[in-house]
Amino acid sequence: MATIGAPDSAVPGQPPRLPGEETPEDPGQEPPYLDLDRLEARAREQLPASVYDYYAGGAETETTMAEAPASWRSWRLRPRVLRGTARVRLGTELLGTPVRTPIGIAPWAYQGMAHPDGELATARGAAARGALMTVSTSATHTLEEVAAAADGPQWFQLYRLHSNRHTDDLARRAGDAGYRALVLTVDVPLLGRRRRDLRHRFALPAGLRMANHPPEGDQPTLSDLATATWTFDDIARFGELSGLPVIVKGVLRGDDAARCVQAGASAVWVSTHGGRQVDPAIASAHALPEVVEAVGADVEIYADGGIRTGSDVLTALALGASAVFLGRPCVWGLATGGADGVAGVLAGLGEELTHTMALCGLDDVRSVPRDTITPAR
């Protein structure tokens, strides 16, 4: 069987199991890594309660987070028959960068809490599957260290959490380090109110550091604080500083998406920040069609938020997304299996996507028609 995630993937048979997992005694039992609830349960057993809740929790009542997976299931597939589908192609390009799968890794902070190698292991797992990784500003390894850890394509996600000077320097460093794009995360004018973190009085465990954050002497000045809120003008400015295409992440409205593109964004990322900011907010699955309609077919659009199955991925592609990104499933893969665990999650969802596309008479992730799905009745 061809490697899943290669440009030409065979219709799948039995997928490989995660390293460390036994083959199920019951041949009809789902392979363990496809059961993401089970994978999360294993991660929860291994992580301190405050760390697990940091990753697993959302903002306020956690309504946005809870509704996200079901929102993708508010659509139904309309399979085509007699199409002669023999091979499914998962390979595509994102802003001109070839990838072997449309399933990428979203940024998340403090990966060193989940595994000693943190972002370095995630980078290796993503590269093993030919997937694109987005590296967080709040990483436990420097952006240069993560870039050097694996030869897979990477984007750098940028927050404005520091002085203007330091934020600008991060953008320049990302360009110099070989990142393929800069991802401006714009839905954090201030942190969401995350009750689990407040209950635990969450703090980064001893021995870990926010490697891209400035030293104590480089904190925001009063003038920095006065201009701390980004505007549409910053899109082009950060593009010039970094020399990279700019993706705007955290967009949930069509009018905002159109303004981002007019201001110079190369792509738009529909995201609720994992349900960790505004709550309750519209689900990405429900915001995506409006964003696609607003910006047209010439602009790449990405989505995240509650994607847990291959059919969820296919639904996003049918709605107009060029790619989807995973957060928590990869956290649980990292916590339980390091780089191999991350690669296993990506492989599992790639297998599911390939299988579902074949059943629907589709053979290429780059050309999934809108009429592949219809609203559930």
Q: CA-CA distances (angstroms) from residue 137 to 24, 131, 132, 347?
A: 39, 19, 16, 26
**What average pLDDT is seen over the chain?**
87
In this predicted structure, the answer to whether residue 78 has a pLDDT above a threshold of 90 is: yes
- Residue 46 confidence class, pLDDT cut points 50, 70, 90: very high
Exposed, middle or buried: residue 164 (CB in 10 Å: 0-12, 13-18, 19+)? middle
Contacts of 213 (CB under 8 A, 6+ apart): 137, 138, 161, 162
222 belongs to a structural domain:
no
pLDDT value at position 254? Answer: 97
**Is 18's pLDDT higher than 50?**
no
Decide if 4 is inside a domain.
no
Given a cut of 80, whether residue 190 has pLDDT beyond it is no
CA distance 4 to 352: 10
Report pLDDT for 165: 87
Domain extent for 64: 32-217+228-375
Q: What is the pLDDT, as a whole number, of residue 219?
A: 54
Asked if pLDDT for residue 300 goes beyond 90, the answer is yes
Say what the pLDDT of residue 358 is.
94
Tell me whether residue 23 is in a domain. Answer: no
| Mean local confidence (pLDDT), 347-370 | 95
Per-residue model confidence (pLDDT) at position 214 = 81
- Please give the single-letter amino acid code of residue 347: A
Q: What is the DSSP letter of 363?
A: -
pLDDT higher at 5 or 358: 358
pLDDT of residue 160: 79
What pLDDT was estimated at residue 201? 87
Give the residue from 345, 351, 352, 301 showing the smallest Cα distance to 323.
301
Q: Is residue 269 part of a domain?
A: yes
The confidence band for 210, taking pLDDT boundaries of 50, 70 and 90, is confident
* Mean pLDDT value of segment 45-64: 91
CATH code for the domain in which residue 124 is found: 3.20.20.70
Residue 352's SS3 state is helix
Question: How many structural domains are present in the chain?
Answer: 1
Place of tokens 């021995």: 207
Q: What is the pLDDT of residues 247-278, one digit of tens each?
A: 999 999 999 999 999 999 999 999 998 878 88
Greater confidence (298 vs 189) lies with 298
Cross-strand partners of 227: none
Residue 15 has pLDDT above 90, yes or no: no
Identify the band that residue 202 occupies on the pLDDT scale cut at 50, 70 and 90: confident
Average pLDDT over residues 102-107: 98
Question: What pLDDT was estimated at residue 257?
Answer: 98
219-246, pLDDT tens digit by residue?
555 555 555 678 999 999 999 999 999 9
pLDDT at 84: 79
pLDDT, average across residues 96-105: 97
User: 64 in a domain, yes or no?
Assistant: yes
26 assigned to some structural domain? no
**Residue 212 within any structural domain of the chain:** yes
Residue 21, pLDDT > 70, answer: no
Which amino acid is residue 101, in one-letter code? T
Q: Which residues sit opposite 231 in a β-bridge?
A: none
In a domain, 5, yes or no: no
The pLDDT of residue 132 is 98
Per-residue pLDDT tens digits for 150-164 = 999 999 999 877 778
Percentage with pLDDT > 70 across the chain: 87
- Residues annotated as part of the active site: 273
